[in-house]
Amino acid sequence: MSYTYTTLKQAIIDYTENNETTFVSNLPVFIKNTEERILKNVQLSLFQKNDAGAMSASNKFLGVPSDFLAPFALSFTNSSGNVVFLDFKDSNFVQSFNPDATVTGPPRYNAHCDLSHRILCPTTDCGYSAERQHIFFPT
């Protein structure tokens, strides 16, 4: 059976037998959170994108695209022309591995920093061209 957004909302109300105002007004939030969770966990290639980014010298942050939902891969081209993939780690690991942001070098690790940035470790020693592969949130 196929659902439209309206029929899905009504099916949830019918199934839960709950038409209380707060519950009904929060259904869009529940549906959006469920969509995001499914997209992050399933990671269909249909929802993967590649785009170019630039790592700046002495900057430990790399911006993420506006439609970013979850990381897939991050790589950069080093000074020898080789493509290097960064390992995805927890932000606590990244902060512990390189607590002094003034220490620079070719990045080895990356982690979530906030909604619009990834943190690189160690801090980038020079400008590199990067390729960001991510799961995007469809319209």
Domain limits of the chain? 5-42, 47-136
pLDDT in tens, 82-111: 999 999 999 899 989 988 888 899 999 999
pTM for this model (two decimals): 0.72
User: What angle in degrees, to the nearest 10, is found between the helix axes of 21-42 and 5-16?
Assistant: 110
Which of 48, 3, 2, 5 is CA-nearest to residue 30? 5
Q: What is the pLDDT of residues 5-49, one digit of tens each?
A: 999 999 999 999 999 999 999 999 999 999 888 888 887 888 899
